[in-house]
Amino acid sequence: MDLIRQEILNCTKCELCKGRIHAVPGEGAINARIMFVGEAPGQNEDQQGIPFCGASGKLLDLMLESISLKREDVFITNIVKCRPKGNRDPEKIEIDTCSKYLKRQILLVNPKVICTLGRFSMNLFFPDFSISKVHGQIFKLSKFKIIPLYHPAVGLYKDSMKETLFSDFKILKQFTTIKPKEFS
C-alpha cells in the first residue's frame, strides 16, 4: 500500500495534478472488511490530504459510529485521487486514469464489501444503475459484494436524507465482525 500511496502522491498522469495541493490516496485498515469509495477529494481533503475530512466526513464518522465502527476499522478512498477544480464532476479520462490505482487498492485490501458513496463511484462498477433505485442493496460482482450508498453530502444538503443514509448503513452491520489475526 505504501508503494501505491507514493505513486498517487507523485502522479502526473492527468491534468488534475496541476491544481492540487495534496493528492488523496486514501487511508484505513489494510485488512478492512469494508471499503468505502467516494467520488473525488473536496476542498478540505485537498488541503489536508485525508479522505472525507470535511463536513461529509463528519457525517460519515457518525454513520460508522451508528454501526459500532471507527475510521480505523475500514478503508476509505475515492475514485479520483486529486480534487477537480471548482469541485466539478470528474471527467472520464480522470476516472479512467485514477481507477487503476483504486483497482490495485481493492485487490490489496481485499474487502468483503465495497460501499460506493454516490453515483460516480457506483457507476464505476455498475454503469447502468441509478443510485435512487439501488441504494442500500447488496450486489455481487466477482468475489466482492458491492453496496451502493448515497454520498454523505446528500445529508448535508437535504436534511430529510439523513434518515435514509443511516437506514442504508444498517445493512453493513452484518460485515462488521473483525477478521481473526493470522498466526504463522
Q: Which of 120, 155, 116, 121 is nearest to 136 (CA)?
A: 116
Q: How many domains does the chain have?
A: 1
> Is residue 14 domain-resident?
yes
- Check whether 167 has a pLDDT greater than 50: yes
> Is residue 116 domain-resident?
yes
Please report, for the domain that includes residue 8, its CATH number.
Answer: 3.40.470.10
> Which structural domain, as residue segments, surrounds residue 8?
2-173
Mean pLDDT over 104-108 rounds to: 98
> What percentage of the chain has pLDDT greater than the value 70?
96
> Is residue 184 domain-resident?
no
| Cross-strand pairs, 84 | none
- Check whether 120 has a pLDDT greater than 50: yes
Q: Which of 37, 72, 27, 60 is nearest to 147 (CA)?
A: 37
End-to-end CA distance of the chain: 21
Put the strands of the sheet holding 113-117 in their side by side order: 27-28, 75-78, 34-38, 113-117, 144-149, 139-141
> Is residue 180 domain-resident?
no
> Is residue 178 domain-resident?
no
**Whole-number pLDDT of residue 177:** 67
